[in-house]
Structure 1
Amino acid sequence: MSTSYYTAYNTRSEKTNILLWISRLFVGLLFIFSGLIKANDPMGFGFKLQEYFHVFHMNFLNDYSTWIAVIICALEIILGALLLLGIAGKKVAWGLLLLIIFFTFLTFYSAFFEVVTSCGCFGDAIPLTPWQSFIKDLILLAFVLYIFVYRAQLKPVIKNNFSRNLVTFLIIVASFGIGIYTVYFLPFIDFLPYKVGNNIPKLMEIPEDAPQDEYQHIYSIKHKTTGENKKVTDKVYMDEKIWEDENWEIVGEPETKLIKKGYQIPISDLNISDAEGNNVTQEIITNPYYNFVVVSTDVTKLSPTDFLALDKLNETIRNLSKDYNIRATLLTSSSSSDANYLNDQLDLVLEIFYADAVPLKSMVRSNPGVLLLQNGVVINKWSKQSFPNKENLEKTYFQGH
């Protein structure tokens, strides 16, 4: 082998290793980030999965969507972390390839057939359109393919076999642990409009100086003499004063296209009604006193454990109401008959009101879950597992009131 050939071979190998490291860093960090963002709110990701289940006629998986979400999130984190560390390189490369092909198919299907409006790739933290998600997956696919081709060069950063196994075990435990924890004790970071500190009534209003949607109107015009047809925007139509030229006439109705979205109301779908159908939204959300809002999107989905948890928090609120001026409500999207049955079973101290399931799912990622409101501000929120006892609530919120 000549010296020049050997030098060229080494140079090419070095460049390949550099590109491989760049690919490892990019793919590994992005997979970890994506997995962590979704693991922060696996129930929300589960709702997104239910949309895909509906599209592919797999609704029988709906009841397991949250735990499927936990598994997918953990898998992303594990594959990303092991890729960075170079552990089990060939298996990780296969896992990444299969996973990114699956994601790319889903995002393309969503975008092309317009069946799911947002993929949920980065949860509610960074909403992406289906086409944005598809492009992101195509870029990732290119990097993953490169990693797959050179998977034999993936060498572990940790040389000691015992240490590698220990680190792998800890990564797996942590990856699943994050998702399981947030299922039971709510997200670490709340990206939804009902997060602690937010003023719900203000988030239902449009500010006076809020930017409006901007539209473009496209006219189809025809030349009376030559028969020429063309399309022009309303700006061109006015700027070039085509409207003054009697040789041109507008054909049909103009097309309207949204070119820039204006201010979007964070909470646009919250409508609370009583059993008679009267709208009581403002009455509930602007209550000046402490207002416990218990949310159970679907009371028929309450497991025996959920049922006991609801009974426990109902009794806690009942005991508080004996000593303090508070209001307590139950919001549900269930039928009045199902809600009344629950009331009969638990002798609820909670006033029952009704709202659509979509905003209720955004209020608190737990069934049941609890929000504490005052003057429309979310003071705190709890899952069924984390709702405090009477003594803790008194000490934190009611002493001195």
Structure 2
Amino acid sequence: MFKHVLRIVIALIFIASGFVKAVDVVGFSFKMEEYFSPSVFNIPFMEKQALFLAIIMVVLELVLGFLLLIKSRLKMTLSLLIALCVFFAFLTFYSAYFNVVTDCGCFGDALKFTPWQSFWKDIILLIGLIILWILYRNHFNDIDERTAFKKYFSAFAFMTMVFVINWGITHEPVIDFRDYKIGTDLNAEKAKIEKDPSEYKTFYSLKNAKTNEVLAVNQDDYVNDKKYWEEGSPWKIEEGKTSSKIVKQGYESEISKFKPESPEGMDLTAEILKAPKAVLIFSYHPENIDPVLLARTEAKVKAIKGALILGISTNANTFKAINNAMMDGTAIKTIARSNPFVLTLQNGKIIDKRSAKDYLKY
């Protein structure tokens, strides 16, 4: 009984993890780009393959989780799942230890984990899989039952997977787990962030010149204890090692990063959120944008009467027919899943969002 329950639980975890990533496989590819970036593994040539690799990882999780659920090809399934868990455990440990990727994207935007939480989740899954290997090792050569139910269930699961992944790539995610979902009031979210902000403190790395002891001391303790700074003190601040750490977690929302600026550096956030209607075209990779598609989108948006029209990208010269604004590329990726992308606001509330291709058809 125990081994069946354990198998089903672990299978459902992998299916759930794969499904939320499949829903927004483009978003998962952005997370993979972070790992390939110069600040992490420094293999930037792999960034162009991020979407393809993201699809492969998602399909692996879903297929292997499904095979484990229906108890099919157990030796191969458990072997590959163990290998997958070891791989993810390495990534999450690296992220946690070096603090380079703050969210592994294990469950997409549906459920956030800190790097250490992600690492221990992978370790627990790995232990569970090893236990399953031991418990089922005498059944590896059993013949799989090819029942009609399994065939139809497998076909349905496969078609669902293909549909969900394809829809998320060509349109918008079937289920939107992001902070920028339709119906979100950006003004209300901004107010919540201001009412309950996160608090940070500066920490100094101090080294004792006599004993070589090293301490991390926060700004308040440093000021209040004169032994650290009085004349003749052996404690010296180590250059380049001062850090800022969160001491109180406030209201979390990606909307805190919504800060479009004019090319001259003027903050346009308030103007956008107060506008009765604002139509914004986003581009996170302006260098890769289809110029014909962009021109058609600009023309359609520009024809809208009585609306604030802006093109927001990482380049001040991306848009030719409408006013340009700039925003951080990572922040744009939390909003847009296609390049370009159109977002419509009404008094700061999201009423429509879609890829430029879908917007032109709408």
Q: What interval of TM-score do these two structures reach, taking the shorter chain for normalisation?
A: 0.7 to 0.9
Asked if residue 64 in structure 1 is aligned to residue 45 in structure 2, the reply is: no
Partners of 2:96 and 2:180 in 1: how far apart? 29
Alpha-carbon shift at residue 56 of structure 1 (Å): 1.8
Partners of 2:23 and 2:144 in 1: how far apart? 29
Checking the alignment, whether the CA contact within 8 Å between 1:297 and 1:334 is kept in structure 2 is no
Partners of 2:283 and 2:247 in 1: how far apart? 39
TM-score by length of 2: 0.80
Checking the alignment, whether the CA contact within 8 Å between 2:78 and 2:133 is kept in structure 1 is yes
Q: Which residue of 2 aligns with 1:89?
A: 74
Alpha-carbon shift at residue 258 of structure 1 (Å): 5.2
Q: Percent identity?
A: 31
Number of corresponding residues: 334
Q: Structure 1 39/257 Cα, relative in aligned 2: closer, same or farther at 3 Å?
A: closer
Alpha-carbon shift at residue 307 of structure 1 (Å): 3.7
Q: Which residue of 1 aligns with 2:212?
A: none
Q: Which residue of 2 aligns with 1:187?
A: 173
Q: Which residue of 2 aligns with 1:21?
A: 4
Name structure 2 gaps, 5 residues minimum. Answer: 204-214, 230-234, 236-241
Partners of 1:386 and 1:88 in 2: how far apart? 41
Return the letter of the residue paired with 2:161: S
Return the letter of the residue paired with 1:366: S
Alpha-carbon shift at residue 213 of structure 1 (Å): 3.9
1:279 paired residue among 245, 267, 270: 267
Q: What value does the CA root-mean-square deviation take over the aligned residues?
A: 3.4
2:161 paired residue among 160, 175, 187: 175
Segment drifting more, 365-374 vs 167-176: 167-176
Q: Structure 1 20/308 Cα, relative in aligned 2: closer, same or farther at 3 Å?
A: farther
Return the letter of the residue paired with 1:332: S
1:326 paired residue among 291, 297, 307: 307
Structure possessing the higher radius of gyration over alpha carbons: 1
Asked if residue 359 in structure 1 is aligned to residue 347 in structure 2, the reply is: no
Name structure 1 gaps, 5 residues minimum. Answer: 1-17, 218-230, 238-242, 244-248, 393-401
2:287 paired residue among 300, 308, 325: 300
Listed one character per residue, the Cα deviations across residues 320-346 of structure 1 (whole Å, up to 9, x for unaligned) are 43xx4333221111243xx26xx2xxx
Segment drifting more, 146-155 vs 41-50: 146-155
Q: Structure 1 316/98 Cα, relative in aligned 2: closer, same or farther at 3 Å?
A: same
Listed one character per residue, the Cα deviations across residues 5-35 of structure 1 (whole Å, up to 9, x for unaligned) are xxxxxxxxxxxxx232122112100000001
Alpha-carbon shift at residue 212 of structure 1 (Å): 6.0
Alpha-carbon shift at residue 139 of structure 1 (Å): 0.5
Partners of 1:147 and 1:102 in 2: how far apart? 19
Checking the alignment, whether the CA contact within 8 Å between 1:287 and 1:376 is kept in structure 2 is yes
Partners of 1:178 and 1:263 in 2: how far apart? 31
TM-score by length of 1: 0.73
Alpha-carbon shift at residue 265 of structure 1 (Å): 5.4
Alpha-carbon shift at residue 142 of structure 1 (Å): 0.6
After the TM superposition, which residues 129-168 of structure 1 pair with which residues of structure 2 at under 5 Å, given as runs? 129-149=114-134, 150-153=136-139, 159-160=145-146, 164=150, 167-168=153-154
Return the letter of the residue paired with 2:6: S
Asked if residue 36 in structure 1 is aligned to residue 19 in structure 2, the reply is: yes
Q: Structure 1 211/64 Cα, relative in aligned 2: closer, same or farther at 3 Å?
A: closer
Alpha-carbon shift at residue 69 of structure 1 (Å): 1.2
Q: Structure 1 20/185 Cα, relative in aligned 2: closer, same or farther at 3 Å?
A: same
1:380 paired residue among 348, 352, 360: 352
Checking the alignment, whether the CA contact within 8 Å between 1:71 and 1:176 is kept in structure 2 is no
Alpha-carbon shift at residue 124 of structure 1 (Å): 1.7
